[in-house]
């Protein structure tokens, strides 16, 4: 993700170019969804849509470059993730099954197996961090935010964010040294041509 490319897309989106906002969605939504999933948001795709809707509605008054936009976007994502957790902790959403309206789809078995192995290991490691440390690591890695941007997004001081990151990295190093992940043999999963 080239910084100049994102800068140009933000400028075009701010000027009303809907195509540019669509490109921002394509470039950044996987990272936002990954951040939300890492925070435990089970409806990450829906919340990601809410994040981008809020950004779309506010892009006209936004000022800044691509890095500032990314920081702003992850600040919105952080707040929407907190809102989602509050909402679901009060009353878990339950919907009756309606076969006619069920538009859910599933990924291929190969894709599901490969990503679940990665997800399980990442979630196992993140679960052993404090929620604050996990947030900082997700925003640093998936959001590619700076310490200052994370401080703004989470409402903490830069010193507190640095300390959380240091402790998280130290804890992850210790966990990986104690229990390194096992490599997955490539022959285990056959290659299947994608269906179109």
- Greatest mean pLDDT among 40-49, 82-91, 124-133 lies in 40-49
Domain with residue 73: its CATH number is 1.10.1740.10
What is the distance between the alpha carbons of residues 47 and 64, in angstroms, rounded to a whole number? 24
Same structural domain, 169 and 117: yes
What is the average pLDDT value for the chain, to the nearest integer?
A: 82
Domain with residue 116: its CATH number is 1.10.10.10
CA distances from 111 to 58, 107, 119 (A): 35, 6, 12
Global pTM exceeds 0.85? no
What is the distance between the alpha carbons of residues 104 and 23, in angstroms, rounded to a whole number? 25
Q: What is the pLDDT of residues 170-184, one digit of tens each?
A: 998 888 888 776 665
**CA angle (49 as vertex; 136, 23 as ends), nearest 5:** 90
What is the distance between the alpha carbons of residues 53 and 106, in angstroms, rounded to a whole number? 25
Amino acid 118: pLDDT = 61
Q: Are 81 and 48 in contact (CB under 8 A)?
A: no
Residue 190 included in any domain:
no
Structure tokens at 85: 């957790």
Structure tokens at 68: 């500032």
Q: What is the pLDDT of residues 31-85, one digit of tens each?
A: 999 999 988 898 999 999 999 999 999 998 999 898 899 999 999 999 999 999 8
The total of other beta-carbon atoms located within 10 Å of residue 118's CB is 11
120 pLDDT band (50/70/90 cuts)? Answer: confident
- Indicate whether 190 pLDDT > 50: no
- Residue 76's domain comprises 1-91
Amino acid 53: pLDDT = 94
Domains contained in the chain, number: 2
Q: Are 20 and 13 in contact (CB under 8 A)?
A: yes
Residues of the chain above pLDDT 70, percent: 77
The total of other beta-carbon atoms located within 10 Å of residue 189's CB is 14
Q: Which residue has the tokens 């999963």?
A: 189
Same structural domain, 4 and 76: yes
Residue 60 included in any domain:
yes
Domain boundary among 91, 123, 155: 91
Same structural domain, 119 and 178: yes
């Amino acid at each position: 993700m080239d910084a100049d490319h994102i800068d140009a897309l933000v400028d075009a989106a701010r000027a009303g170019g809907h195509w540019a906002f669509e490109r921002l969605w394509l470039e950044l939504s996987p990272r936002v969804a990954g951040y939300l999933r890492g925070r435990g948001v089970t409806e990450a795709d829906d919340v990601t849509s809410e994040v981008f809707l809020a950004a779309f509605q506010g892009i006209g008054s936004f000022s800044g470059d691509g890095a500032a936009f990314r920081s702003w976007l992850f600040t919105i994502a952080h707040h929407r993730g907190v809102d989602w957790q509050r909402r679901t902790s009060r009353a878990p959403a339950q919907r009756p099954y309606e076969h006619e309206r069920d538009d859910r789809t599933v990924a291929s078995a190969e894709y599901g197996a490969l990503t679940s192995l990665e997800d399980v290991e990442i979630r196992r490691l993140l679960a052993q961090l404090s929620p604050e440390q996990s947030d900082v690591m997700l925003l640093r890695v998936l959001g590619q935010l700076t310490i200052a941007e994370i401080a703004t997004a989470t409402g903490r001081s830069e010193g507190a964010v640095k300390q959380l990151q240091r402790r998280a990295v130290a804890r992850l190093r210790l966990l990986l040294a104690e229990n390194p992940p096992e490599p997955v043999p490539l022959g285990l999963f056959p290659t299947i041509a994608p269906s179109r």
